[in-house]
Amino acid sequence: MYAPWRHDYVTRKDKKNPTTKEIQSTCVFCHQLGQNNDEKYFIIKRFTHCAVAMNYYPYNAGHLLILPYKHCEFLKDLTAQERIEIMEVANASVLVLEQVMNAKGFNLGINLGAAAQGSIPDHLHMHVLPRWRGDTSFLETLAETTIISSDLFKTFNLLKEQFEPLDF
């Protein structure tokens, strides 16, 4: 299977015990959200308190991330308005993925804290994963390899078009 977009992820070297200042200055989400290059970082739509973006290292076609602008680790660190908007964007994401990707089910999840073993534990984010019956195979089980059958750029453009009119 050929998945070149995962190369940087699987070959990166993690720093040991970085300081809070180092984490915030090197947070991939903070960096991407701070740039003015949404297409490069697959940022589909920016809302008041969060943005929705495609996952650079997707588990499935259409795998989205909901990213609060605030750099924090736990839900308790967000205001009620920030939490509400994240849930509204998650709901909208499900509806858009149903329409655009013909998804038949969804996994939504948040890993809170380093012990939850999320890949980026210091910046809270929600995963929205579209699912289809039979979307896993022996490759995931035996070779830890997932087949992504949709072009990332085409999917980005289709999703962006559907998200554009949304506002909360």
pLDDT of residue 25: 64
The count of other CB atoms within 10 Å of the CB of residue 41 is 16
Give me the CATH topology for the region 42-163.
HIT family, subunit A (3.30.428)
Which pLDDT score is estimated for 48? 98
Query: Rounded to an integer, what distance in angstroms lies between the CA atom of residue 24 and that of residue 102?
Result: 37
How much is the pLDDT for 24? 47
- Identify the pLDDT of residue 151: 78
Q: Where are the domains of the chain?
A: 42-163
What integer pLDDT is reported at residue 59 of this predicted model?
Answer: 84
> Which residue ranges of the chain lie beneath pLDDT 50?
24, 138-139, 143
Is 141 in contact with 123 (CB distance < 8 Å)? no
Give pTM, 2 decimals.
Answer: 0.79
Query: Sign (positive/negative) of CA torsion 114, 130, 148, 36?
Result: negative
Helix, strand, coil percentages (3-state) for the chain, rounded to 5, are 40, 15, 45
